[in-house]
Homo-oligomer: A and B are copies of this chain.
Amino acid sequence: MAGEFDFINWIRAQSLKSDNLLVPPGDDLAVVKWKFDDLLLVGVDQVLDGVHFDSSIHTPRQIGKKVMNRNLSDCAAMACLPAYALATVALPRGRNIDYAKELYLGLREAGDAFDCPVIGGDTGSWDGKLVVTVTILGRSAGVKPITRAGAKVGDGIYVSGPLGGSILGRHLIFEPRVVLAREISARVSAMIDLSDGLSRDLLHICRESGVGAIIYADAIPVHEDAMALSQQDQRPPILHALHDGEDYELLYTASPTDNLPGTRIGTINAASEGILLQSEWHREPLDPLGWEHPL
């Protein structure tokens, strides 16, 4: 019967050599030569069967790709370059080594697009559902990391693409905005990737920056998926654009004199003004209705 060590050996055979990877996967830890002037950025993100994907519908290749791309999108949010990834898989008994390989190939396919090899991991099978966790290491590579905390009163608020309705399939096949993030990094004051939904992720920026905001409903780019979903559930497309999660576009703030790529959707105000949505006829508080895992 194929076991964990066969899988580890298979992964080792897949691994690319790297000058800075002194000890590759297969030992207790991987060993990396980190460059002096590069800040190290690190985070971790998991996907759970029935929450972030559905293993009865989605292929292991799609699932692996999604979790890696979520982590690469976190690199985009900080404007760093992805460097290395590690992955753990809790594999339901009955899923075989070929399934695990497909997961890994999905991870690798997404990582390869940004020269981000998988340098370690842990796989175990159990009487439970599929969990895939990825740790991402990024490097600043000459760009000061962009946090959520730098938005200033008077800054414009921008998004990198149309929003809403990602549940129709886009949540599996998005492209992490790493290249754009690097391009705009010198000009933005705060940034986040839209994983929890615009209303909630904007709240993160406002809280961390100690500011308020006004969003112009008419300015929000609404994805055609939000229109399609609206046909199904009768909920206005703008509500999908405001509150749906997993867009994986960037939300960023910058001085409005800069001519930034993306769509301007609002303005940063003083904290005392709150977070407001300006529609054609009225102005109302924009409450976060996006994704939050209840505990």
- The chain A residues found within 8 Å of chain B, CB to CB, are 1-7, 22-23, 26-34, 36, 38-46, 48-51, 74-75, 77-78, 80, 84, 86-88, 90-91, 95-97, 100, 119-129, 131, 133, 135-138, 140, 145, 147-149, 192-193, 208, 292-295
Known contacts A78-B28, A129-B128, A208-B27; is-contact A120 B43 (Cβ 8 Å): yes
How many Å from the CB of A107 to the closest CB on chain B? 13
Task: List, sorted by A's number, 18 A–B pairs whose CB atoms are closer than 8 Å.
Answer: A3-B293, A4-B295, A7-B295, A22-B39, A28-B148, A29-B42, A29-B43, A29-B77, A32-B42, A36-B36, A42-B137, A43-B120, A43-B122, A44-B120, A51-B126, A91-B295, A97-B295, A129-B129
> Can you tell how many copies of this chain the complex includes?
2
Nearest B residue to A91, CB-CB: B295
Q: Report the separation of the CA atoms of residues A32 and B26 in the bound assembly, to the nearest whole angstrom.
A: 26
Q: Is the CB of B124 within 8 A of A48?
A: yes
Could you say which residues of chain B place their CB within 8 Å of the CB of A126? 48-51, 129
Known contacts A41-B29, A293-B4; is-contact A46 B192 (Cβ 8 Å): no
Could you say which residues of chain B place their CB within 8 Å of the CB of A44? 86-88, 120-122, 133, 135
Known contacts A43-B120, A90-B46; is-contact A138 B29 (Cβ 8 Å): yes
Q: Is the CB of B22 within 8 A of A43?
A: no
How many Å from the CB of A91 to the closest CB on chain B? 6
Could you say which residues of chain B place their CB within 8 Å of the CB of A91? 295
Nearest B residue to A126, CB-CB: B48
Could you say which residues of chain B place their CB within 8 Å of the CB of A90? 46, 48, 131
Q: Report the separation of the CA atoms of residues A26 and B148 in the bound assembly, to the nearest whole angstrom.
A: 9
Q: Report the separation of the CA atoms of residues A119 and B48 in the bound assembly, to the nearest whole angstrom.
A: 22
CB contact between A88 and one of B4, B124, B133, B136 (< 8 Å): that residue: B133
Q: Is the CB of B293 within 8 A of A31?
A: no
Q: Report the separation of the CA atoms of residues A275 and B103 in the bound assembly, to the nearest whole angstrom.
A: 34
Q: Is the CB of A31 within 8 A of B22?
A: no
Q: Report the separation of the CA atoms of residues A123 and B295 in the bound assembly, to the nearest whole angstrom.
A: 9
> Which of A49, A77, A295: most chain B CB closer than 10 A?
A295
Q: Is the CB of A1 within 8 A of B294?
A: yes
Nearest B residue to A32, CB-CB: B40
Q: Report the separation of the CA atoms of residues A40 and B139 in the bound assembly, to the nearest whole angstrom.
A: 13
Q: Is the CB of B128 within 8 A of A42?
A: no
Could you say which residues of chain B place their CB within 8 Å of the CB of A78? 27-29, 31
Nearest B residue to A51, CB-CB: B126
Could you say which residues of chain B place their CB within 8 Å of the CB of A147? 23, 27
Could you say which residues of chain B place their CB within 8 Å of the CB of A49? 126, 128
CB contact between A193 and one of B28, B97, B293 (< 8 Å): that residue: B28
| Additional pairs, 10, CB under 8 Å, beyond known A31-B41, A45-B122 | A2-B295, A23-B145, A28-B78, A29-B77, A45-B88, A48-B124, A51-B126, A86-B135, A97-B295, A128-B131
